[in-house]
């Protein structure tokens, strides 16, 4: 069935009962996926965690934490079979709405320097390159990979 013929996706809180579905997506999307413990720790800490769902299936999700005057994106993932269909933009729009609701003035994130697709998405959404964190991410074998640090200022006139 074509993606456009399906019901519109909606958001739901990412809660512990959904972790099996989320972990299945993580394992297929990343060489170094978050573990159940990572997600449980994020949920126990009260971090913002939302899923994009359609007809009971998880299309993607994000986890973010609030800081003083800012938000930090910790994880954003779209299931591999649903990538390239605009769901990452939908997730990022929800992240931005939440960040503005909690009075954040900017959103921060790290992204693997090799993830050019994500970097293009973030830049297209107004994120700016700030710095590089050397050896931030695990790599293949003993190697590690640098992270590009990016941030997006939020327009104060958009705050609710």
Report pLDDT for 2.
Answer: 52
Superfamily of domain 3-158: Gcn5-related N-acetyltransferase (GNAT) (3.40.630.30)
Query: What pLDDT was estimated at residue 148?
Result: 95
For strands 70-78 and 10-13, give the pairing: unpaired
pLDDT of residue 139: 80
Find tokens 């512990």 and name the residue: 16
156 pLDDT higher than 50: yes
What distance in Å separates the CA atoms of residue 14 and residue 12, rounded to the nearest whole number?
6
- Per domain, the residue ranges of the chain are 3-158
Find the mean pLDDT for residues 43-47: 97
Q: Is 61 considered catalytic here?
A: no
d(CA 94, CA 100): 10
Q: pTM here?
A: 0.90
Q: For residue 122, indicate whether it is catalytic.
A: yes
On average, the pLDDT of the chain sits at 92
**Active-site residue, from 47, 122, 137, 151:** 122
Give the phi and the psi of residue 143 in degrees, each rounded to 5: -70, 155
Res 140 pLDDT > 80? no
Residue 1: is its pLDDT beyond 70? no
**Helices 116-124 + 87-101 axis angle, to 10:** 50
Asked if 80 and 28 touch (Cβ cutoff 8 Å), the reply is yes
Please give the span between the terminal C-alpha atoms of the chain, in angstroms, as a whole number: 39
Average of per-residue pLDDT across 129-158: 86
Confidence tier at 73 by pLDDT (50, 70, 90): very high
Tell me the C-alpha to C-alpha distance, in Å, between residue 129 and each of 28, 73, 119: 28, 15, 9
Give me the mean pLDDT over the 34-61 stretch: 97
Active-site residue identified among 47, 48, 61, 110 = 110
């Amino acid at each position: 069935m074509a993606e456009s013929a399906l019901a519109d996706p909606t958001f739901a809180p990412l809660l512990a009962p959904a972790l099996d579905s989320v972990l299945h997506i993580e394992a297929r999307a990343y060489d170094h996926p978050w573990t159940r413990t990572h997600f449980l720790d994020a949920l126990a800490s009260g971090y913002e965690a939302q899923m994009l769902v359609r007809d009971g299936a998880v299309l993607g999700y994000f986890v973010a934490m609030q800081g003083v005057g800012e938000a930090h994106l910790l994880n954003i993932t779209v299931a591999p079979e649903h990538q390239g269909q605009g769901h990452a933009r939908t997730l990022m729009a929800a992240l931005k709405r939440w960040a503005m609701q909690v009075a954040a003035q900017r959103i921060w994130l790290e992204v693997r320097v090799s993830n050019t697709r994500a970097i293009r998405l973030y830049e297209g959404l107004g994120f700016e390159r700030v710095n590089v964190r050397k050896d931030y991410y695990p790599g293949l074998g003993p190697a590690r990979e640098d992270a590009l640090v990016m941030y997006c200022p939020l327009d104060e006139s958009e705050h609710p």
